[in-house]
Amino acid sequence: MRFGDDASLTNVSLNKSLQSLTVIPLGGLGEFGMNMMALRFGEDIIVIDAGMMFPESELLGVDLVIPDITYLKQNRANVRAIVLTHGHEDHIGALPYILRDLNVPVYGTRFTLALVKKRLEEAGLLQSTTLREVLPGRRVEIGPYEVEFISVTHSTIDCVALAIRTPVGVIIHTGDFKIDQTPVGGVPFDLHAFARYGNEGVLALFSDSTNVERPGFTPSERAIVPRIEELCRSAPRRVILSCFASSIHRIQQVIDIASRVGRKIAFVGRSMVDNVEIAHSLECLRIPDGMVVRPQDIRGFDPKKIVILASGSQAEPMSSLSRIAVDNHRFVSVDENDSVILSARIIPGNEKAIFRMLDHMFRRRALVYYDNSAGTIHVSGHASQEEQKLLLQLVKPKYFIPVHGEYRHLFRHAALAHQIGCVSGEILLLEDGKTIEFTEDGVHRRDPVTAGRVCVDSGSLEEIEEVVIRDRKHLSEDGVVVSIIAIDKHTGKMESHPEIVTRGLMSDNGQELIAGARAVIINTVEQSNAEEKSDWGVIKEKIRVDLKRYINKHTSKRPLILPVILEV
């Protein structure tokens, strides 16, 4: 089995009189996240999505990773718009950084743009950015492109695929999708639109590969209701449920379940509160009057009459659920016989942190539910193999290009398309930066463009093209601070005063600064409970955050801070 990768596509000398459409993938082909793709016809470029991804653990001090947009900056005058498929961070998270260099209109659905507004407001870019709301089923013209927004179902709301009519042919980009036949919001997956384009003729289909390793169909979002309702109804005390804050359908169902079993609802965590407020203000979320308990009232509320919706399902070090697990949250604690439900996929790479967090819950004798072995408490938002096949058969593209996934996902999606035989031309495997050009006489490989990852320190909006350069910049301008703390894991006590080593930071008041930093560390450790002290991930993050704040306040510098815990 052979696909049209770089080796099999010919790099021909094209007749310049032929009309051509160039596809430039800038992110999301070879990794999960950072989704971004550009289309160029003549001098007109449109960009599909602008996502971010979270860094691997070895990228010390990096807050997030965004696509390298060198190509777009080099062609800044030709970029007409950014078109968004939906509001997940891996599709919109890079906008606050990219729009500083590309001041172009942003098209998206109502909820998607509401999430974008929040991020642009925080970055001080809202007033200078043009946001254009679109409706599923409608079409807009952007230069030579006519874009139709096709309603699809996913794990958040207001999601669309894009059918882009160009002088060369129709391109369909699915965005993220699954085919949910009983959607919670009542807005169905528009199979008819895909079939209509399939009958008309589609030049190329770019389709979501995330769940290609899963056979069958992805269950409907409604599949979670029986098990979660059963757990809420039988729970002896309070229920703490964590899901992705963008899963508005999941949140709606939990609210409805709580109402049916006679419990109130409380929302905990910044992202959860923000997204609920946005969705409720847009009337995308129905919350009965008198249903909501304020976070500050949770401790005094009857534990048998409340469901707490908390963010932090991936055990991010300072997220609400992580702090709840070690009894370090202002408003919520876990007691014996409380029910903790993790209604979210465990993202690969996060397993260790999540299970460590769940261990803390078990230590408190909570009733913990975190997988589907005894009933469905989570379903994916991405299409499995049978849905991917169905879409391919409806669209019947001339060319097929898998997107959104690591290389094995793209390869297996290509193999699936080859297996069902509904692609009349070639199946093409691309990676970030590898461009192709469609013309009247076929598809051709073009020279690759600059693509890759840009590391970002979100506190300063500073972009670092390579992590080595970023660390050198830290070391040369702001220095490095290494704090060494010896802690007895059994007692949680420090065995000696913290030792602090600095390079590139010392000034006239250096000794005074170090003495203050040592006091900050001692205070942080002493104010932490025993479980936090025994969890190196949590205590190191607390020390890093507190030291960062202290040093920035006294020196206006942002050194690289590396806490080291010595177990005694």
| Cα distances (angstroms) measured from residue 45 to each of 74, 231, 539 | 12, 51, 47
Single-letter amino acid, residue 30 = G
State the DSSP string of 324-381. HHTT--SS----TT-EEEE-S---TT-HHHHHHHHHHHHHTT-EEE-SSTTS-S---S
CA gap 160, 153 in Å, rounded: 8
Point out the catalytic residue in the list 382, 409, 413, 444: 382
Host H or E run for residue 500: strand 499-503
Beta strands in 64-194 (DSSP E): 64-67, 79-83, 106-108, 131-133, 139-142, 145-152, 159-166, 169-173
- d(CA 239, CA 68) in angstroms, rounded, equals 43
From residue 209, give the alpha-carbon distance in Å to each of 244, 400, 407.
21, 12, 10
Question: Is 382 in the active site?
Answer: yes
The CA distance from 85 to 162, in Å, is: 7
- List 514's β-bridge partners, or say none: none
Asked whether 235 and 279 are in contact (CB, 8 A), the reply is no
Asked if residue 56 lies in contact with residue 85, where contact means CB atoms within 8 angstroms, the answer is no
Give the containing element (helix H, strand E) for 264.
strand 264-268
208, 338, 471, 478: which one is catalytic? 208
208 is catalytic: yes
For residue 75, give the 3-state DSSP assignment: coil
Buried residues in 328-349 as b, exposed as e (16+ CB within 10 A): bbebbbbeeebbbbbbbbbeee
Q: Catalytic residue positions? A: 208, 382
